[in-house]
Structure 1
């Protein structure tokens, strides 16, 4: 297997650092997060950043595409599990742990690129396959749909307690916060198992998450 060129490998490392930094800065500052704050947190020079991305929007579009790639990877690995329930558990756990939905504050503030749309479609298809398989195996409650699980992942992916202690540099407490989050994930997953009383209300519209990404230039 050929080794990646040094510049390409460095760009990939910077992208990973930028994505992690963006998730934390967006959680704190929302959609108005500055590129300078993200670059500083990632340890990436602002000049080199603007050599790769001409605008703030272009950077955020790229980071969204990278994040969607993580969703796809988690779903693909989940589908490789022989056990339908364990495959779904892997997907939910992995997406929560990497902060799935952390870029949500950008929804409606940037234009959706062809790459973002393509990856969103692929991610949705894979997740639908995970959910369908779990339903067919009788392990996922019949009234829990893909959109319910996506919303659950987004809410649990925003672990303000973990981020709070990380920001303070309280490593021991951050570890405890991760432990607490893992317990919450386990409780949520148990609620997805078949055999529980019916969920309240109606199933959310499948386009609920996608529609908020409609670009609003006024935001």
Structure 2
């Protein structure tokens, strides 16, 4: 058996990648995550190759176009987000689980410009990516419902509020132009204080955008329901 062809090895078509090819692929993905995170999705595959320290031909052999590379990165990030949501749902304290998830998602999107563009506005989108993004909504709905049922989260908060909150946090991070990229953490604390249920809460007078409008803005496609 060729080295690197064991279970779990990256595939090229139906064939496992050789060890050196698999290592190059991971090097390219790490480099892409860094340059996309810092500069957004406007960078080229040539930029990624330079950052990875490999020839541009190596990048094109693994990823024939930027869409393929973005999709591979997003699939990794989606897995991370889903695991984060699962941990949050398993937390014995529904409020802390909700806070932990929001903080982790806020960190990723406020500090990773490329991921923010894919997640929030469908940049370099495709049907698989849109469907995957829509697949996060049930996790978010469950986290909100659980925190509301425990009496910790205001009843007016809806899943459609969270993308707007995350967009606000990202804007706060970008406002400092790199000098205080962590400033979003201050504002998430302020927002969480306003989102927590308290006896003296004044009612919110402006309705949320609603799921339909948020999905239109984000270009979301919910996964098709499984047939009975």
Q: TM-score, normalised by structure 1?
A: 0.74
- Show the counterpart of 1:75: 85
Indicate the SS of the match to 1:164.
Answer: coil
Deviations 1:43-81 (A, max 9, x none): 554322211111122222333333333322221111121
Judged with a 3 Å threshold, the aligned counterparts in structure 2 of structure 1 residues 68 and 35 are, in CA distance, closer, same or farther, namely same
Structure 1 runs, 4 residues or longer, greater than 4 Å off: 2-7, 41-45
Residues 191-206 of structure 1 mapped to structure 2, 5 A cutoff: 191-195=194-198, 196-206=201-211
The separation in 1 between residues aligned to 2:190 and 2:133, in whole angstroms, is 27
Deviation string 1:175-219 (CA, Å, 9 cap, x unpaired) is: xx53x432222222112101332334212121334324549xxxx
Instruction: Spell out, residue by residue over 1:78-102, the C-alpha distance to the aligned partner (whole angstroms, 9 max, x if none).
Output: 1121100000011000011122684
Residue number in structure 1 paired with 2:42? 32
Q: Alignment partner of 1:146: what SS? A: coil
Cα deviations by residue, 1:3-37 (Å, 9 ceiling, x for unpaired): 865654553454244223212211xxxx5333333
Q: Secondary structure at the match of 1:32?
A: coil
Q: Between the two structures, name the one with larger relative contact order (CA 8 Å, sep ≥ 6).
A: 1
* Structure 2 partner of 1:85: 95
Aligned pair 1:129/2:160, yes or no?
A: no
CA distance in 1, matches of 2:90, 2:75: 23
Q: By percentage of residues, which structure has more helix? A: 1
Provide the residue aligned with 1:151 in structure 2. Answer: 164
Q: Which runs of 5+ in 1 are unaligned?
A: 166-173
Matches of 2:190 and 2:22 in 1, distance apart? Answer: 41
Counterpart position of 1:51: 61
Matched, 1:142 2:145: no
Is 2:213 aligned against 1:208?
Answer: yes
Partners of 2:187 and 2:195 lie apart in 1 by: 13
Structure 2 residue ranges without an equivalent (≥5): 1-6, 10-18, 221-228
Structure 1 position 129, deviation (Å):
0.7
Relative distance call for 1:188 and 1:6 in structure 2 (3 A) is farther
RMSD (CA atoms): 3.1
Q: Identify the residue that residue 191 of structure 2 maps to in structure 1.
A: 188
Which residue does 1:22 correspond to in 2? 36
Larger Rg: 2
Give the 3 Å change call, closer, same or farther, for CA 44–203 of structure 1 in structure 2. Answer: farther
Q: What is the SS of the residue equivalent to 1:138?
A: coil
TM-score by length of 2: 0.71
